[in-house]
Each structure stands twice: as C-alpha cells, then as structure tokens.
Structure 1
Amino acid sequence: MVKEQSVQIPADEVRAVVEVTEEMKAAIQERILKQIASELQLPAGRVKTTVGLLDEGNTIPFIARYRKEMTGELDENQLRDIEERLSYLRNLEDRKLEVIRLIDDQGKLTDELRKGIEQAVKLQEVEDLYRPYRQKRKTRASVAKEKGLEPLAEWIWKQPKQGDLQAEAAKYINGDKGVGGAEEAIQGAMDILAEQLADDAKIRAWVRRHTFEQGILRTEAKNAEQESVYEMYYAYQEPVRKLPPHRILAINRGEREEVLKVALDVPVERIHDYMAKQVLKGPSPVRETLMAVTEDAYKRLLSPSVEREVRGEMTEKAEEKAIEVFAENLRNLLLQAPVKGKVVLGVDPAYRTGCKLAVVDDTGKMLEIAVTYPTPPNNKVAEAKEKFKKLIDKYGVELIVIGNGTASRETEQFVADLISEIKTRKLQYLIVNEAGASVYSASKLAQVEFPDLDVAERSAISIARRLQDPLAELVKIEPKAIGVGQYQHDVSQKRLDESLTFVVESAVNHVGVDLNTASASLLSYVSGVNSTLAKNIVKYRDENGKFTDRKQLQKVPRLGAKAFEQCVGFLRISDGKNQLDNTPIHPESYPVVDQLFRELKLELSQLGSQQLKDMLQHLQPEELSVKLGVGVPTLRDILDSLQRPGRDPRDELDAPVFRTDVLQIEDLTPGMELQGTVRNVIDFGAFVDIGIKNDGLVHISQLSNSFVKHPMDVVSVGDVVTVWVLNVDLKKGRVGLTMKKPQ
C-alpha cells in the first residue's frame, strides 16, 4: 500500500497543546475507524476490534494466529495495513488540532477554514490549508508588507471597475519605508498577491494534480562523452504518470551522482488559464496586472515548489514499491527450505589470504576450522585437496557450501575437480549468496559466539549454517545487508528498516522457534520478545538447563504476563513434559485439547500417531466447535497442529539445486535447458543462478507466455525453475534466459 507523501513541519514551530474532551476523542476515533474501513474495504466491526487489540498491546503475529474469531481471520498484511493507517490518521488528527489552534491564536480562524481542516484526509491537505498562516522566512512579499503595501494589494485584488493604478500606487510612496516610486509600490503589491496565490490550497492542489498527470520528465547527460550505467537516460523523456518505480530511482541516483540533469516540463497554458479563472472577475483597470501576478506566482513560486512535491511523491511511491519488492524477496529467502541432517563444509573463498573452511555438524555446531590455498597466487592445489579430503573423511561431510564472493568461481572449479576424484561417497556442492556474512562476522554477536576466531573463519561458519537453516542464520544479519532488493540504499532507511523488521518477525513466528536452541537474535523477533527479554531467556537457559515446560518462561526475569501471552505459542519445546509444547497450540487452548481427547477416548501420548490422524481427518470442526466451546478458526488450527506436531512449514518448499560439476559461460548455447534457483526478483525480471559466475536474467517478457504484471506474480526467491538460454554476451558476461519452453 502506497503511503502519502510526508510533509516536513518546521522544527522551530511552536507546538500548541489542545485540550480534547472525551466526546471529541470518541468522535475522532469513530472518524478514523470509518476511514480505515472505507480505504481498506474491510468491515467496520473487524477494523474496530483489531484497533482495540492493537491498543491493548497485542502484536500482529499474535492477533493473526490466536485471535482469528475476533478479527474475522484477517491476515498479517491486512492487520499491518490497519496498524499503519491507524498511526498515520491519529498523527493526522493531532496535526489538525494543532493547526486549528495555531491559526486561532493569530485570530484568523474562520468556520469555513476549520471545517476544511477537519475534513482533510491527507497531511498534505492540512499543510496546504495552513501554508498561508505559517511563519515564513524573509520573502519579497513579507518585505512588501513591512513597507505598508498590503492595502494597495487589497485594492488591486478587489478589481475596481474604475480608477488609476498609478495614482493609487502613488499614495504609498514613502522614502522612509523604502518605497521610492509608484512602480516600486505596484511591484511590492504584486509580490504580496503572488505569494497569496501560490499559497492558495485549492490552486496548489489543482496544479499539483495537473503536473503529475501532464508533466514530462526529461533527462540529459551532463557530459555525453562520459561512459556510465546511466547512458540510456542521456537523452530520455517519459510522462510522469507512466514512469515505473525502478526507473524513477535510477534517474534519482544518476542526478545525485551528477551524471544526469533532470527537468520536469509541464504545459503552462492550462495552468495560467486555470489560475486566471480563479482570480479575474471581469473588466478592470488592474486586469493585466493580475494576469502578470498569476504568471509570476506560478513561475517563481508555485512551479519550483510543486515540482519538488511531485518528484518527492514520485520518489516516495517508487521507494515504497522497491521496499515492497525487497520485503517479499527477503521473506522468501528466509523461508527457504532448510537442509537438515547433513554435515556441511563451509568455504569462504579468497585469493591471497586463502580459503577459510568450517565443518559444522547437522545441528550447526562448529566442529573444525582450517585454511587452504588452492587459488592464485598460491595455487597449492594438491595440499588443499589433502586438507579437504581429510575433513570430509573425518566428519562424513556430504555437502560443500561455497560463498559467492571473491575467488568463488576458482574455488568452485577446485571443488568440482575434487568431487570427481572422490569415489567413496556421494558429495555435492552449492554456491550460496554470502551477502551479509561479513557483516555478521564482524558484529559483536559473532565475537561473543566465536571469540577465538577471526572474521573470515566466522564467515565460513555462517556460510555453512545459512544452508542448514537460512532463517536462524540470516536473522543475525541486519536485513538490508542480505542483498535481495533493488535500490535499497536509495530509499528511506527508516521505512525500509520498519518493513524488513516486520517481514523477519512474520517469518520467524510463522515457522516457530525452538526454545532450547534458538539464539538471542532469533528469539528477539518472536512476538512479544524484545532484545532484553531474548538475552534473559538465553541466560536463564544457560543457568538452569533446558526448558522442559512452556510455563517455565514465566520465571524468566522481566517476562511478564502480557509478554508470556504474546510469545509462548510461537516457542517450541521438542522433548518437554507436555507434548503440546512442541506445537503452535497456545496454552490457553490446552483445556480444549484435553476435552477433545476425552471425546475421542484417546490419551495425549498418542499425539502424532496414525490412529489420531485418521480420527482427526473425519471430524467436522463446525459441529465440534460448539461442543468444545471454541471458535471454528481456532479449532481448525488446533486439529491441523495435532495432526503434524513439530512440523516445519518450510519442509514443503523446494530444496536448492546441488551440483557436482562446473558450468562455464562458454559452455552455453541458445536453446540449452537448465535448472536454476531464483536469487533475486526485481521490477523488470528475475535473476537465476544457473551455475555460472553471474546469474542469468529472465526479463519480465520471458517469464510466461501470458501477460505478467510483475515478476513476483510468477516467481519468488528460492524457487527452483527450468530455464532455456536465450542469448549469451561473452564480452559483458551476461546471459539472457527464458522460462518459455521453446517450440
């Protein structure tokens, strides 16, 4: 959902305190709820209930999972939309009250103005209405007012049918005030009127809309001889309303790097005509003067201001789309299928300093660290092979995972050759995106986890672990450092952080967390748990041993009743006293489960048995919910959890593509069929890892035989796809792919 453009409020503006009665609060709340329901096309009752739950301190994952009856089964995205609109509209209402008070303090508040402010639905509308009353820095109009020229401006504005402007202006000649002649007085009055016109809320709104609908964005090179990635924009133009988000951000970056000059062209005739119609009343000796005022108001004041606003709004919408793409990619990356039960050898490749190796067992525990030098300039290939073989045999390594950084392809060739020599066991390798591994390796968290290892050694461990459990490992890294977005450094970092944090929280709570093995980093994303509580949970576990019952969480320092309620359902104990602690069933529903088992004449010890699964499949939740006194959505979730205790929802996703040999770009020919893994999805297509140095691009036009509105409608990060080579550019190292099967 696109957010409205934010409006900067001067920091030095005095913020008035407005007393709000309970009756006013209720009316404002009702207005907000109605607006949210209308905007999001949701039943008003569900919106009201959701707002009540949020105000009580409930988290979105908790509400989505455990309060389905109350919200009508709204999903996390709908709940988040409600939360965001609620925050925006409450801030909007606060600003309305503030603006009303500030204007009233000037003695200029009219009933019409108050009504206009109260009925505004966007912050921009409120700021437009307040603009004429806001204290400004020194302007040509303010200087003219200081010279006493406001009465002359008012005389011109009234457009008398008779009179002489020069004669009227002569009355205001005053050397002491700096008005040396009639022309100077007239110019001052025109400056006052131009600012008045430029500040008119109705005119600004119309001009802004017209600029967006009719404007043409033009770009040109500052130096046409300079080679750059922006060459397609060296002589480019496109209607503002049609510019796609990724192009807006690319142009912005080119302008910021001083490679491009950007201008917004707008047909001014219609703007002049519209403004004139708002001003001119009929024949008058000042008609030509007012025409000049409207043109000056637009060219000098309105045009630059509105252009900034329109480009700001374009950028904000483009950023929102970029953040949306990044967030969806991140979610799919976090929820990639874990590779369980494998001993993994992680490799952080390098040239001069050698490849750092880390063997981790099937639980992610580090077993051994080593370093080898199979790549240039050392080229100690034989020695490296011996080291690899020794580790593989010693620990029963089944998978080798190579980071995709410096020297990754040389290391890949070395590993492929090594695998061809080993006949005693099945061995495969995989290249993983190591984005963020170095960020984690240098972090305080990594220093605490592996205090005796250097940065590259920690990175090798992280590379191995992110294959075994992508979610558990990637949550240790700042989300925006994971590298599955587009233009992530060009967008609002605050908004990006908020969105990505929400995605990580959603993913973590969707999967659930093992209470006895989770790191503090992972626990901090659990519903109701902050970083302090996460550390307290780990500390309690270290001091008291494994948790055997969810109730023990209540003994963790500072974990109160509300936090317990919010987090407990998302925390799992795999070998605890109560088997239900290894399911997503909330303890508040344990009595329902007990009653259900009595109805079925079964013992809880039969949880997970085929007999129980068979019986549960034939139950009718609609009928049973009445008998058990529980809502149908909650009962459905309970029955699903009982059938598959300990289930990891990621297990149903595609496993990554493992390889045993290297593919070079020179090996590719048009029409060749390949299996690949989607690494990144952007507005104009998807990048697919097909086993060569650079990922191949499937352009949006090659994703399907049908029309594709956005690549995410067809593919997601982590998908294993079949592609065909479309074209190969050896010079640039680029490969075009298609997902359309050749005829």
Structure 2
Amino acid sequence: MANEQGKQVSQTGAEETVTMELTEEKKAAIQERITRQIADELQIGGGRVKTTVGLLDEGNTIPFIARYRKEMTGELDENQLRDIEERLTYLRNLESRKLEVMRLIEEQGKLTGELRASIERAGKLQEVEDLYRPYRQKRKTRASVAKEKGLEPLAQWLLSQPRQGNLTAEASKYVNEDRAVSTAEEAIQGAMDIIAEQVADDAKIRAWVRRHTFEQGIVSTEARKADQESVYEMYYSYQEPVRKLPPHRILAINRGEREDVLKVSLDVQTDRIHDFIGKQLIKGPSVTRDTLTAVIEDAYKRLLAPSIEREVRGEMTEKAEEKAIQVFAENLRNLLLQPPVKGKVVLGVDPAYRTGCKLAVIDDTGKMLEIAVTYPTPPNNKVAEAKAVFKRLIESYSVELIVIGNGTASRETEQFVAELISEVKSRKLAYLIVNEAGASVYSASKLAQAEFPDLDVSERSAISIARRLQDPLAELVKIEPKAIGVGQYQHDVTQKRLDESLTFVVESAVNHVGVDVNTASASLLSYVSGINGTLAKNIVKFRDENGKFASRTQLQKVPRLGAKAFEQCVGFLRIPGGGNPLDNTPIHPESYAVVDKLFRDQKLDVSKLGSEELKAVLQRLEPAELADKLGVGVPTLRDILDSLLRPGRDPREELEAPLFRTDVLQLEDLTPGMELKGTVRNVIDFGAFVDIGIKNDGLVHISQLSNSYVKHPMDVVSVGDVVTVWVLNVDVKKGRVGLTMKKP
C-alpha cells in the first residue's frame, strides 16, 4: 500500500541519498536504452535506429535523411523516420519527467531505492504519474483534513487489522475538541478517508482498475431530451464496449456530449474491482474487516471510479484523435499530390446565390487576366446576362477549362455551366468541380492581400479555385493545412497535434515533388527541407533584386542561408534552364562528382541529358556493379540514375488526370445498378465520398468497396482517385445516394 511505502521510505530515505545529476556514462546508458526500446517497438534494427537518432540530433530533416542518407539508415522511409523521431521525443521527455519526479520525491525524503527502481523501469508517462501520485502536493481533501486533525495513527491502526480490540473505543482516544473531532464516529470516518485516498493513489491498484475498465467497461449514451431532433439520434439509447468502440464513434459521442445533446457514462461491474482491492488491502479476519470493506467501496465509488473514467475516456479520445489525424493527413497528402493540369487557360468560378458568382480567368502560368461577376443562380436568375459574360471571357482568352468551387450554389452553377458548354460550338470546353475548402481562408490572408491588393475577398477566392487545377500543391500550401477539409472531426482533435502532423505531410509532399526556386512563392519555399519562413522570404527577395537564379550554388549568397540550410534544401530546389542541367534534377550537389565520374567512365555528355540516346545507355547500367567503382552506395546510385533518366520530371504527372465533365446529372436521373465514373472527394473510417456529378457526393460504405475484406477504406481508395461505381440506392427526399464499387 502507498501509506506503507511512504512510511518505509521516510524511515530509510535518510540512509539512501539519490543524486539526480547524470554522469556521461548514465546519459549514454539511457540513450542506449531508448534506442533499444524504439528498435523493439518499431521492429527496426538497433543500428539503423541509432544512426537515425544521430542524424536527427545533428539537425538533419526527415526529407533530407530519407532521400540523401539511405545508406546510413538502411533506406528507412519518411514514415519510419517520423515514427522514430516521435518515439525519441516521447521517451526523452519520459526520462526527463522521471528525473523530475525522483527529485521532487527526494526533496520530501521519501525516495527509496525500491521506488527509484520502479520509476526508472516505468515505460509510460502514466506509470510514472501513478507512482508519483501519493507524493504529489494536493489541494485540500477529506483525507488531508483528517490528517490535520491527527487521525493518521487511527488509520494505521485500522490497516494493522488487529484480531482483537474495539474500534469505537480506539477511535474515542482521538476525540478532541481542539482538533475539531467531536465523536468517535467522526474520528473513524476521518481515518477511513485517509485510507480511501491511499487506496485511490496506489499505483498497482490504479493500473489494474484502469486495465480492467478498458477491457470490461461499457460506454452508455442517452439523450438529454428524447424528443430533440439531431444528428446524434443513433446515440439516444446506445451501448458499446470500450474496447470495441471505433474512433469515429468516440469522437461523435464526445461532440454530442460537448454540445449538451448526450449524456455519457462509462459503466463497469464493481464486484471484481472490489475483490481485487480487497486482496491487496485485507489480510484476513479482524475487528476492522467490515470497516475496510466499506473503505474499499467508498474509495472506488468516490475517488477511483471518477478518476479512472476520466483517464480511460481521455485515452480513448487520444487514440481516436490519432486515427482521425492519420485519416486527415493521408487525405491531405493525396489532395496535395493531385496531378497538375498544365498548359490550359482556366476560368475559375466561386459560386454563390445572392452575391453572385465571382469569375477569374488565369493564363497557363497562373497569371490573373480578368475578374468578373455574374448572377445566374437564385434569387437573381440573370441567366442570359451571365451566359453573355461567360461566352465573352471564353472567346477573348481562349478558355479551355471551367473550374467550379464546391461550396454554396456549386450544383446550380454546375447546371448553368453544363448548359453553357452545350451552346459553345466554337471550341472544346469541359468543366471540373474542385474542393474549395480553405479558399476563403487564403482570400482573407495577408498573403492574398499582398498578392492581389486591389481585389476583394471573393474575387481572390475565384483565382485560388482556378489555380488549384493548374498546380494544386503550389496553391494549397498558401492555406493553413487544417483548413483544407478532407477528413473527419478535424475540429474535435488536439489542434497542436493536428498542426504538427499536417505540417509534416505538406513538407513531405513539397519535397517529394521538388520546387522551382525561380517561380515558387515564399509559402511554398517555407515547406522545403531546411528552409523556414524567414529564409523563404529572403530567397524571394534575393530573386526579385538579382533576377532568376542561374545555379544552385548561387543560393549560398542568400542572406542567412548557411551551410547547414544549404545542405538540407538544395537537393529539393530545381533550376530549369540553368547553366548545369543537374540543377534541374533531385541529384544533390554532393553527388555531382559521382555523376561526372559516371559520365567520363561511360563516355557520355551531360549536355545530352534527356535525349533518347543517353537514356538507352543509362538503362543498361547496373547500379550494384558500378557503385564500388564510383565510390557511392547502391541506393544513392540507383536514385542518381533514375534522376538522369527523367530530368525535370514531376512525379504527380504519373497519376491519373482529374475527371472532366461536359454535362450534369440530376438525382432523379439515377437508378439502382447505373454505372458511373466519379472522383473520390473524402475518405473516412466508414467509407468514401465520391463526386458523381450530382448535388451531394455519394457514399461508398466500407462494406461496398471490395468483394474481399477491407480493414480501412484507405487500403482501397485515396482522395482524387477516379473510380467506377454503381448506384445501390437513392433517397431523393434526403438527397443521399448509396454507391458500390462491387461490379454487379
């Protein structure tokens, strides 16, 4: 028990002086233990983990390590490196907390060797906090008040469980008007309160009860007002075991509780819990047995149960949030890596009802050519006037694609555009609906104000919508990642954790694609490995003042871009048309000497980079045979050859192009069994939403994604995928369509 432990500590603490100062040897031992633990948890070789930790500690970024240090890490990918980094941070923070807890307990003179060993062995922060709990300074409690009244010896007498004696008589010894103990019953109650708090603070008991609650607990929900209509009606009388509750349901229940629609409880049978605590506390027959049994019931009901319920629900929420963040992050990555539609003049449309549709024509480089506004939708319905404006813009600028944001009035605008396309015979036109999430955030930002100071918010939004087709990545990085709505419950999760995860995704996507340093905005550059916001602005300013960069080495002249930042960023920056063709490839300058040696050895000319003749020679080379001769690792040489075969390539162009439409479907047009092509707009835990060209996206439930078992929808589909679906059912009243990807 905690009180026994505390008593024992106070007797021996003076003899056992524990220093919190760590020797270099001790630091090395802790680092070795952390490395070993990460290797075991992630099933990655200890040497690879140790090397990765060293690289991270030297200030290298994950994209840089993943791309340019493959030999050192054994070709760990970005996700594995990220996992190592996260666990490293957690475990180092855990070690720091252990030291802090030991210091605080030692200051009380209660740190025994046994307790110290228990803290050092703890593998989770929760375990450390459980061990520290009895020694933490508490606010005023019933137990602390009883201690002030001098009732601790009575509590000890109760815990000694004498076989003979009289409890009332013993308690009468503590009746003292000066200490505000009026009766023996009051003294007994105070002693019971002291023991109850010790029971609730005992680390072993807390760990067992927490685990039992996870394994056997039932989450129960009910409506606060049974007749109230809401989106939470399925939870008005609902029960599910804690261990089986899926992440999206946990977050939905939490939101319903937060909005005061649901009452939520966590129920667990108490008999086994009482029995377990009894075995820890009660030694056998005694005159205090019944009293201690009552203490156990009170300790659990009043102290343990509420505390453990908070902890269990907190842990459930944490796991659910982590899953939601993973879903959001994966959707965001797929959205960012949508293939760009280059070489097209685009007409962007930000649809609306009362305020009209804002139009923006942009050329094939993203430059704004003209802004306009039309009113083809209710309540104005100026269809003829709107068609005249659209047709003028289409003819004047040779528009090839119309891009419509998917916000308010988008489907009415789509109907109008489809009709317009059928009337324009002079050129081939198509339209596309894009996710406009975050466009309003960008439009009101300082960045948008600086870019288009003379335009209002909605006009800037139309430009953003148009540019999302031409280069989704370059446009979407201007927006706070969490404002790009491609997930579930993103507003219900810990925002700091969400921001960290999404920032990592954006960085990964940007560095995967590479950035043209001569055209990139500061927003895009700030996500490049090794470049922060200040450096990004310095690069743009240097470019504006000195003209385009002619070589990568010129970047070293940018103010505050030091050697480390240059090493980390330069491989991800491209310079098309520069003096050295290698500057437009992912090959790092540190490997240019390898390329020179390769070209001399094979009698090749770097000026012919990209030619079929050069490709034919490079394709015949075997990296494993050449690596030693060139003094380079096989993975690096493999990447070099791949870059030389496809200089200046954009990896997004290998993905399926977006689905363009010329006509629109009505909900009433759909019948079960109808085959359609659609674009996946969002993937969530229970399925995928697919844009099939009607007002609301259709849902492919997880059970309809494949004929075989699907663990998670992301195993089958991704945001942006163009898929073939069949109509399962249509609910015209609710505007819902059920789809299947199982071919009839």
Residue 131 of structure 1: which of 114, 133, 154 is its match? 133
Task: Name 1:458's counterpart in structure 2.
Answer: 460
Tell me the alpha carbon deviations over residues 220-251 of structure 1, each in whole angstroms, 9 at most, x when there is no partner: 00111000000000000000000000000000
- CA–CA distance in 1 between the matches of 2:19 and 2:437? 48
Note if contact 2:102-2:116 (Cα within 8 Å) is conserved in structure 1.
yes
Q: Do structure 1's residue 438 and structure 2's residue 472 form an aligned pair? A: no
Give the Å deviation of 1:480.
0.7
Paired letter, 1:423: K
- Match of 1:33, SS state, is helix
Residue 498 of structure 2: which of 496, 507, 511 is its match? 496
Note if contact 1:17-1:98 (Cα within 8 Å) is conserved in structure 2.
no
Task: Name 2:115's counterpart in structure 1.
Answer: 113
Residue 359 of structure 2: which of 357, 360, 367 is its match? 357
- CA–CA distance in 2 between the matches of 1:225 and 1:291? 43
- CA–CA distance in 2 between the matches of 1:17 and 1:344? 69
- CA–CA distance in 2 between the matches of 1:73 and 1:17? 41
Gaps of 5+ in 2: 1-17
Give the Å deviation of 1:372.
1.6
Tell me the alpha carbon deviations over residues 254-288 of structure 1, each in whole angstroms, 9 at most, x when there is no partner: 00001000111101000000000011111111111
Give the Å deviation of 1:637.
0.2
Tell me the alpha carbon deviations over residues 538-561 of structure 1, each in whole angstroms, 9 at most, x when there is no partner: 000000000010011101111000
- CA–CA distance in 1 between the matches of 2:461 and 2:423? 27
Tell me the alpha carbon deviations over residues 593-624 of structure 1, each in whole angstroms, 9 at most, x when there is no partner: 00000011011101111111111111111110
TM, length-normalised to structure 1: 0.97
Give the Å deviation of 1:352.
2.1
- Match of 1:448, SS state, is helix
- CA–CA distance in 1 between the matches of 2:586 and 2:228? 59
Task: Name 2:599's counterpart in structure 1.
Answer: 597
Paired letter, 1:197: V
Note if contact 1:142-1:192 (Cα within 8 Å) is conserved in structure 2.
yes
Range with bigger deviation, 277-286 or 590-599: 277-286
Paired letter, 1:378: N
Task: Name 2:570's counterpart in structure 1.
Answer: 568
Paired letter, 1:272: H
Residue 730 of structure 2: which of 718, 724, 728 is its match? 728
- CA–CA distance in 2 between the matches of 1:380 and 1:39? 64
- CA–CA distance in 1 between the matches of 2:100 and 2:403? 58
Give the Å deviation of 1:377.
2.5
Note if contact 2:20-2:102 (Cα within 8 Å) is conserved in structure 1.
no
Note if contact 1:727-1:737 (Cα within 8 Å) is conserved in structure 2.
yes
1:79-118 residue pairs with structure 2 within 5 A? 79-118=81-120
Range with bigger deviation, 387-396 or 505-514: 387-396
- CA–CA distance in 2 between the matches of 1:268 and 1:410? 58
Note if contact 2:477-2:523 (Cα within 8 Å) is conserved in structure 1.
yes
- CA–CA distance in 2 between the matches of 1:257 and 1:460? 34
- Match of 1:264, SS state, is strand
- CA–CA distance in 2 between the matches of 1:354 and 1:272? 67
1:233-244 residue pairs with structure 2 within 5 A? 233-244=235-246
- CA–CA distance in 1 between the matches of 2:243 and 2:319? 11
- CA–CA distance in 2 between the matches of 1:264 and 1:707? 31
1:313-352 residue pairs with structure 2 within 5 A? 313-352=315-354
Give the Å deviation of 1:291.
0.9
Note if contact 2:725-2:739 (Cα within 8 Å) is conserved in structure 1.
yes
Give the Å deviation of 1:17.
11
- Match of 1:358, SS state, is strand
- CA–CA distance in 2 between the matches of 1:544 and 1:320? 46
Q: Do structure 1's residue 189 and structure 2's residue 191 form an aligned pair? A: yes
Q: Do structure 1's residue 505 and structure 2's residue 507 form an aligned pair? A: yes
Gaps of 5+ in 1: 1-15
Give the Å deviation of 1:727.
0.4
Give the Å deviation of 1:355.
1.3
- Match of 1:402, SS state, is strand
- CA–CA distance in 1 between the matches of 2:413 and 2:153? 82
- CA–CA distance in 1 between the matches of 2:433 and 2:345? 16
Residue 216 of structure 2: which of 206, 214, 227 is its match? 214
Q: Do structure 1's residue 525 and structure 2's residue 527 form an aligned pair? A: yes
Task: Name 1:232's counterpart in structure 2.
Answer: 234
- CA–CA distance in 2 between the matches of 1:207 and 1:738? 44
- CA–CA distance in 1 between the matches of 2:486 and 2:467? 18
Range with bigger deviation, 231-240 or 609-618: 609-618
Range with bigger deviation, 288-297 or 501-510: 288-297
Q: Percentage identity across aligned positions?
A: 85
- CA–CA distance in 2 between the matches of 1:74 and 1:278? 47
Tell me the alpha carbon deviations over residues 656-685 of structure 1, each in whole angstroms, 9 at most, x when there is no partner: 110111111011010000000000000000
Give the Å deviation of 1:728.
0.4
Give the Å deviation of 1:18.
4.3
- CA–CA distance in 1 between the matches of 2:154 and 2:701? 63
Tell me the alpha carbon deviations over residues 682-739 of structure 1, each in whole angstroms, 9 at most, x when there is no partner: 0000000000010000000000000111100000000000000000000000000000
Task: Name 1:153's counterpart in structure 2.
Answer: 155
Paired letter, 1:271: I
1:643-658 residue pairs with structure 2 within 5 A? 643-658=645-660
- CA–CA distance in 2 between the matches of 1:721 and 1:439? 30
Task: Name 2:292's counterpart in structure 1.
Answer: 290
- CA–CA distance in 1 between the matches of 2:226 and 2:518? 61
Task: Name 1:413's counterpart in structure 2.
Answer: 415
- Match of 2:428, SS state, is coil
- Match of 1:98, SS state, is helix
Paired letter, 2:301: K
- Match of 1:727, SS state, is strand
- Match of 2:682, SS state, is strand
Task: Name 1:22's counterpart in structure 2.
Answer: 24
- CA–CA distance in 1 between the matches of 2:640 and 2:507? 22
- Match of 1:677, SS state, is strand
Paired letter, 2:618: L
Note if contact 1:345-1:358 (Cα within 8 Å) is conserved in structure 2.
yes
- CA–CA distance in 1 between the matches of 2:375 and 2:166? 93
Note if contact 1:128-1:199 (Cα within 8 Å) is conserved in structure 2.
yes
Paired letter, 2:503: T
Task: Name 2:629's counterpart in structure 1.
Answer: 627
Paired letter, 1:206: W
Task: Name 1:675's counterpart in structure 2.
Answer: 677
Note if contact 2:253-2:262 (Cα within 8 Å) is conserved in structure 1.
yes
Range with bigger deviation, 367-376 or 280-289: 367-376
Note if contact 1:657-1:677 (Cα within 8 Å) is conserved in structure 2.
yes
Paired letter, 1:610: E
- CA–CA distance in 2 between the matches of 1:463 and 1:65? 32
1:166-177 residue pairs with structure 2 within 5 A? 166-177=168-179
Range with bigger deviation, 608-617 or 434-443: 608-617
- CA–CA distance in 2 between the matches of 1:252 and 1:531? 36
Give the Å deviation of 1:376.
2.2
Aligned residues: 727
- CA–CA distance in 2 between the matches of 1:453 and 1:95? 52
- CA–CA distance in 2 between the matches of 1:272 and 1:404? 57
Give the Å deviation of 1:182.
1.2
Task: Name 1:580's counterpart in structure 2.
Answer: 582
Note if contact 1:347-1:464 (Cα within 8 Å) is conserved in structure 2.
yes
Task: Name 2:406's counterpart in structure 1.
Answer: 404
Give the Å deviation of 1:20.
2.1
- CA–CA distance in 2 between the matches of 1:367 and 1:653? 29
Note if contact 2:181-2:187 (Cα within 8 Å) is conserved in structure 1.
yes
- CA–CA distance in 1 between the matches of 2:383 and 2:19? 74
- Match of 2:729, SS state, is strand
Paired letter, 2:663: D
Paired letter, 1:628: L
- CA–CA distance in 2 between the matches of 1:464 and 1:490? 30
Note if contact 2:75-2:635 (Cα within 8 Å) is conserved in structure 1.
yes
Paired letter, 2:412: E
Residue 473 of structure 2: which of 458, 463, 471 is its match? 471
- CA–CA distance in 2 between the matches of 1:413 and 1:274? 67
Runs of 4+ aligned residues of structure 1 deviating over 3 Å after TM superposition are: none
